[in-house]
Amino acid sequence: MAHVISTAQSSHSLTARIRATVDGLIDSWAKAREFQRTYNELDALSEHELSDIGVRRSDIADIARQHVYG
């Protein structure tokens, strides 16, 4: 039985995996920035403003996480 290894397809597969990894990193960084932006905006609100929108200060991280990661 003979085995054939195609180097052209292997390099394409490696390139595709590297690109997918880079795309994943970019997406992760964007989500981390969005989480931090959301967290900072909510954290900057006063207790009165948070109360007006029905948010407790202790819930800010959970709300930001839900907003970004679903």
Render 3-40 in DSSP notation, one character per residue: ----HHHHHHHHHHHHHHHHHHHHHHHHHHHHHHHHHH
Give pLDDT, residue 12: 76
Give the pLDDT of residue 7: 56
The predicted model scores a pTM of 0.75
pLDDT of residue 51: 97
29 pLDDT higher than 80: yes
Q: Phi and psi (nearest 5°) for 32?
A: -65, -40
* Strongest mean pLDDT among 4-8, 10-14, 50-54: 50-54
